[in-house]
Amino acid sequence: MVRRRTLNLGLFNLKLDPDIETLTLISISNLFDCIQSTVYFQQPQSTPQRPSFIMAPAATIPAVSVTASINPKEASHTNHGQELANKTPLQAMSHGDVVLPGIPTHPDFASHRKWQLEHMTAAFRHWHREGYVEGMSGHISVRDPEFPNAFWTNPLGRHFGLLKVSDMILVNLDGAVIGGNRTRPPNTAGFLIHAAVHKARPDAHSICHCHSIYGKAWSVFGRRLEMLTQDSCKFRGDAHSVYNSYGGVVLGSEEGDRIAEALGPKGKGCILRNHGLLTVGKTVDEAAFLFTSMEASCRVQLLAEAAAANGSPKVLITDEEANFNFDVESDPEICYCEFQVYYDLEDELSNGSFKN
Domain residues of the chain, as ranges?
A: 5-59, 89-355
Alpha-carbon span 150 to 254, nearest angstrom = 20
Taking only the tens place, the pLDDT of each residue in 178-204 is 999 999 999 999 999 999 999 999 999
Would you state the pLDDT for residue 8? 43
Would you state the pLDDT for residue 16? 41
Helices (H), the chain: 80-83, 89-93, 109-130, 188-200, 213-219, 253-263, 284-308, 319-329, 332-350
Would you state the pLDDT for residue 17? 43
Alpha-carbon span 65 to 6, nearest angstrom = 20
- Residue 126 C-alpha from the chain's centroid: 13
Q: What percent of the chain has pLDDT over 90?
A: 70
**Looking at the predicted structure, is the pLDDT value of residue 263 above 80?**
yes
Alpha-carbon span 54 to 59, nearest angstrom = 9
The stretch 266-288 carries a mean pLDDT of: 98
Contact 333, 89 (CB under 8 A): yes
Strand ranges across the sheet with 240-243:
177-180, 169-172, 150-153, 139-143, 206-210, 276-281, 269-272, 240-243
Would you state the pLDDT for residue 252? 85
**Looking at the predicted structure, is the pLDDT value of residue 13 above 70?**
no
Alpha-carbon span 280 to 7, nearest angstrom = 47
pTM, whole model, 2 decimals?
0.78
Would you state the pLDDT for residue 83? 63
Taking only the tens place, the pLDDT of each residue in 51-98 is 333 333 333 333 333 334 354 545 454 566 566 668 898 888 899 889
Could you please report the per-residue DSSP string of 242-264? EE----SS--SHHHHHHHHHHH-
Would you state the pLDDT for residue 78? 57
- Cβ burial of 222 (10 Å; 0-12, 13-18, 19+) is middle
Alpha-carbon span 325 to 302, nearest angstrom = 22
Average pLDDT value over all residues in the chain: 84
Would you state the pLDDT for residue 222? 98
Would you state the pLDDT for residue 282? 98
CATH architecture of the domain 89-355 equals 3-Layer(aba) Sandwich (3.40)
**Looking at the predicted structure, is the pLDDT value of residue 36 above 60?**
no
Would you state the pLDDT for residue 64? 35
Taking only the tens place, the pLDDT of each residue in 236-260 is 999 999 999 998 888 888 999 999 9
**Looking at the predicted structure, is the pLDDT value of residue 158 above 70?**
yes
78-87, 116-125, 202-211: lowest mean pLDDT where?
78-87
**Looking at the predicted structure, is the pLDDT value of residue 144 above 50?**
yes
Would you state the pLDDT for residue 81? 58
The 3-state DSSP class for residue 338 equals: helix
| Phi, psi (deg, nearest 5) at residue 206 | -140, 145
The stretch 85-112 carries a mean pLDDT of: 91
Q: Which helix (H) or strand (E) holds 21?
A: none
Confidence of residue 304 (pLDDT cuts 50, 70, 90): very high
The 10 Å CB-count burial string (b at 16+, else e) for 284-306 is: bbbbbbbbbbbbbbbbbbbbbbe
Q: What percent of the chain has pLDDT over 70?
A: 76
